[in-house]
Structure formats: C-alpha cells, structure tokens
Amino acid sequence: MFCNVLSTGFVVRAAHTVLTWTVTLVLFLHSADLHHQKQFGDLSHPLLFVLLVLCSVLLYFAVSLMDPGYVTCDGNVKVLVINEEQEEMVPQTPKVVHMRRCGYCMLQQPMRARHCKACQHCVRRYDHHCPWIGNCVGERNHPLFIIYLVIQLVVLLWAFHLAWSGFHPGASWTEWMQLNMFLLLAFAIITIFTVVVILLLVSHLYLVSCNVTSWEFMSYHHISYLKHCPSEESPFDRGISRNLYSFFCTCHTVAWEKIYFQFQAGHSLV
C-alpha cells in the first residue's frame, strides 16, 4: 500500500504543497507591502493573494489527479469511411483508416494517442508526462494544465514583487543576510519557478495555436502519421482561432482521424 501511494506521486504533490505554503508564510512574515496594508486595516490584497495561492494549489491537484484521457477499451477499427464523391475524386485514398494496437496494453490506439510507460496507460492526444504533477498531460487535462500555468504565473509574479519589497536593510552584509536569509531563499525559488512557468506557458500556447503536441513537435519525423507530411505543416492545424477555440471549448473526445483524412484529401486534390 505504501509503495502504491509513493508511485502515484504522493511525495511530489506533498513537496509542492509544503513548498508553496512555506514560501507564502515567509512572504507574509517579511513582505513590507503586506505589513503596511495590514497596519492600515486593508486586508483585501493579502486575502486575494492567499485565495490565488489556494486556487493554484487546487488546480495543481486537479491536473495531477484527473484522468488525462486514458484509452480504456478498443475503439471502432474502421474509424473513417469516405463518401462516393470523394472516392471518385481521390481514388488512391483508402476507404478506412486503421488504428494501431499498442504493444504494451494491447489496446487499439486512436490517432495522436501514445503509451506512457510511467502511467502504464495509452493517453489520447498525448502531450507529455510531467514529473512535477506526477501525471500525463493529455486530451482531457491539457486545457486545465494551461489554465493552471496562467494562475501559477500570476501568483509567482505577485510573489516576486512581494519578496523584492520585503528585503530589510542591514548595517552590514552579515546583518543583512541574517535578516533576509529565508526571504532570499524564497526569492530564489520564486525566480526559478517564474522562469520555468513562463517558458512552459509560452511553448504550450504556441503549440496549441498550431494544434501540435509536445510529443509530435519533438518526434515529428518518427511518428507514422506525420513523417510523410511537410515539416512546416500540421495535418490537424485549422488556423489559430479555430485551434484555440476547439482546444479550450471542446468537451468531447475528438476523432482526429477525420481531420487527418480531410487534410490528406485536400492535399491529394492539389
């Protein structure tokens, strides 16, 4: 039982929670801005900051614990049938697109799915396995993952400002270090995580706007359904606005085979 708890990322989630609230406590003990606001009876900003931290922690657990889009059963093997008009115009296009069978869990993989050895599941629209959340990022939790990054970035930028304003002057370097040692450590942690979250958020928003996953971007020429496509073009790209809208507003499972077929048929007609 203990090993199973550890295998689900319990230690990582506990470390994230403890680190988050420890840094928050340090900021409240040292931050000049928060102290000034409390002295004047203004509790709105400290309360809002705590609520944002709580929201980021709750989103972290939601992304970490939810099903990222596991493939749990075999789908329909014949996922796409072209109509007669398309068959006449594109006779060389196959009438059906067959799904691959995973060599690990022996299930038929929908297009864009990949088996994660860490989770031991095939994941729909697999993006990557994130060790910090202890879970895969896939079709179901990817939008929430980006929302979490946005909220986390807001918290980190605010915490960066609070930490910077909280440094107390000292008569000497030794005295300054004694006064600000814990705040300096918190400031370093905040800076590192701010840079990481910014890089993650920018890269994911770019890939989402192109309708490309991290796995597809990194392994483009090794993926069977992509290696014959032009390097600069994704078969699932429908324009930035449609890509973003479908990514954040689609609640059902997407049949990527249909979009892929439309792309192939359109290029066959050119």
Residue 48: closest CA among 155, 146, 149: 155
* Residues with catalytic roles: 130
Asked if residues 223 and 216 have their Cβ atoms less than 8 Å apart, the reply is: yes
Closest CA to 31 of 15, 18, 49: 49
Query: What tokens appear for 103 in the block?
Result: 């060599």
Strand partners, 128: 137
C-alpha 67 chain-centroid distance: 13
Instruction: State the Cα–Cα distance between residues 82 and 91, nearest whole angstrom.
Output: 10
Decide if 163 contacts 126 (C-beta within 8 A): no
Instruction: Name 137's bridge partners.
Output: 128
